Amino acid sequence: MEFETVIGLEVHVELNTDTKIFCGCKTSFGNPPNTHVCPVCTGQPGSLPVLNERAVNMAVKAALALHCQINQDCKFDRKNYFYPDLPKGYQISQYDQPIGEHGYLEIDHNGERKRIGIARLHLEEDAGKSQHAADGSHTLVDYNRTGVPLMEIVSEPDIRTPEEARLYLEGIREIMQYCDVSDCRMEEGSLRCDANISLRPVGQQEFGQKTELKNINSFRFVQRGLEYEEQRQREVLAAGGTVRQETRRFDELSQTTLSMRSKEEAHDYRYFPEPDLVRLHIDDAWLAQIRATVPELPMEKRDRYIRQYQLPAYDAGVLTSDLAIGEYFEATVAAGAEPKAASNWVMGDLLGYLNGRGEVLADSRVTPGQLADLIAMIAEGTLSIKQAKDVFKIMCETGRDAKTVVQEEGMEQISDMAALVPLVDEVLAKNSKSVQDFLSGKEKALGALIGQVMKATKGQANPGVVNQILRDRLSALRVEE
């Protein structure tokens, strides 16, 4: 029997506000435990939350970028449950009126564009972190993360393959980074992902029994974990078995998924409207203000690069994968570089150099203007491609511009006839064998002669000009014969 896979993702994204969602504590990551806490985020008796307007701005911006409808009049609710990392015994979240709903995100897969629905996007507070002693004797809790603003983004069950799931998650990260609302670092937990996966016979409408996959901590593992789980479920079903509803986790070591717990006893969170906060009303002017800050989205930019710069889809994809790379590329073009050449240099030499050193674009010492100048020098014939690559390396290391490097290193290409003619004549005089070979019809001998001239100039001679002079001289010799 043929099966169809159905996947839905629930993604948590930490917003990169300076302060927490309901108090003034800093949100910075990696500090000593319980150093960024106050009466509010530790749930002291009598403390009250005050909504951070910036968190609202960011959530709305993200929701707009995901094409969501914005609920301009919405509210917060309490989700009640007991856990030591939850100081108030409830999480302030949004239940039936999320800030954004009915959006979508597009992915490009196998040359086709696919739309994945976003059911809802809501705002809530993060919980703290528990550290259990190895011997089980006690647990320590760090409340630094408590109250960091969090968005929960829930997809529709529109994802059909594990690869699509990875592309969707990467799409979310790109958009969040484009909107500058989150750094989306899975390893630091600023982006977290849970996945639901089920299989059903092709053509069947209702969903099969699903499992929930938790503890996915890298983009690769989203795909791997789901691939494993897809295969596992297929085998269970093919053998006539039934999939158990359970929560499983991806185990990096074995690259498999392991059962964490079977369907948890139905949890009643007793949601009710948070009485300590007033309703959140985002009026038209405020919404317009936020809308104006939504940047061109990655997918739009990709399409524009193909259209406007005639770049191959691959180039457009790489250049738009990161906001900074696209900006760098466009600045280089704006400084006069030919787009495809700029694309090659940015994707190849620039990113290659930076990646090799574990650096990012912001670390680059070469400015887009400097790169454009270098590309111009190639176009003018001042530098050969090979020379330019050497020059570029020095530029990367020193931050000096191309002209300065060429001058200081004496790397300028020699295209001056008057300088090259005597050199050519000297080479011709010293290599009569090659000259004879050429005159007797061995075209290949020309290459050897060019090589000699290049050698004599330490590679600085313009090969095109040398070629021209040699041909002139040699045809003159042929006539003499």
**Burial readout 243-280 (b: 16 or more C-beta within 10 A, e: otherwise):** beeebbbbeeeeebbeeeeeeeeeeeeeeeebeebeeb
Binding map of another protein across residues 119-158, x = CB under 8 A, - = no contact: --------------------x-x-----------------
Task: State yes or no: residue 36 binds another protein (CB under 8 A).
Answer: no
Task: State yes or no: residue 21 binds Zn ion (CB under 5 A).
Answer: no
Question: Considering only CA atoms, which of 129, 144, 130 is closest in space to residue 38?
Answer: 144
Instruction: Return d(Cα 122, Cα 91) in angstroms, integer.
Output: 13
Instruction: Candidates 28, 35, 44, 475: give the one binding another protein (CB under 8 A).
Output: 44
Q: Tokens 């070469």 sit at which residue?
A: 366
Q: Looking at beta carbons only, is 40 or 176 nearer to Zn ion?
A: 40
Beta carbon of residue 274, minimum distance to another protein (angstroms, whole number): 8
Task: State yes or no: residue 477 binds another protein (CB under 8 A).
Answer: no
Helix 53-65 / helix 162-178 crossing angle, nearest 10 deg: 130
Q: Taking CB within 5 to 8 Å according to partner kind, which of another protein, Zn ion, none is near residue 223?
A: none
The size of the chain, in residues, is: 481
Residues in Cβ contact with 382 at an 8 Å cutoff, skipping those fewer than 6 apart: 406, 412, 413, 415
Beta carbon of residue 6, minimum distance to another protein (angstroms, whole number): 26
Instruction: Candidates 18, 28, 35, 39: give the one binding another protein (CB under 8 A).
Output: 39
Q: Tokens 């039936």 sit at which residue?
A: 96
Neighbours of 95 (CB within 10 A): 17
Beta carbon of residue 128, minimum distance to another protein (angstroms, whole number): 10
Which span sits near Zn ion by CB under 5 A: 22-30, 131-139, 248-256, 350-358?
22-30
> Do the Cβ atoms of 185 and 29 come closer than 8 Å?
no
- E strand residue ranges, 231-367: 246-251, 256-262, 272-273, 280-281
Q: Taking CB within 5 to 8 Å according to partner kind, which of another protein, Zn ion, none is near residue 367?
A: none
Q: Which two tokens stand for residue 468?
A: 């021209």
Q: Looking at beta carbons only, is 84 or 464 nearer to another protein?
A: 84
Q: Looking at beta carbons only, is 9 or 23 nearer to another protein?
A: 23
Side chain identity, residue 370: Q
> Do the Cβ atoms of 20 and 197 come closer than 8 Å?
no
Considering only residues 76-105, where is the footprint of another protein by CB under 8 A? 78, 80, 82, 84, 87-90
Task: State yes or no: residue 51 binds Zn ion (CB under 5 A).
Answer: no
Task: State yes or no: residue 148 binds Zn ion (CB under 5 A).
Answer: no
Beta carbon of residue 52, minimum distance to Zn ion (angstroms, whole number): 11
Task: State yes or no: residue 42 binds another protein (CB under 8 A).
Answer: yes
Instruction: Candidates 203, 275, 356, 441: give the one binding another protein (CB under 8 A).
Output: 275
Q: Tokens 């059962």 sit at which residue?
A: 259
Residues that bind another protein (CB under 8 A): 39, 42-51, 78, 80, 82, 84, 87-90, 139, 141, 268, 270-272, 275-278
Residues that bind Zn ion (CB under 5 A): 23, 25, 38, 40-41
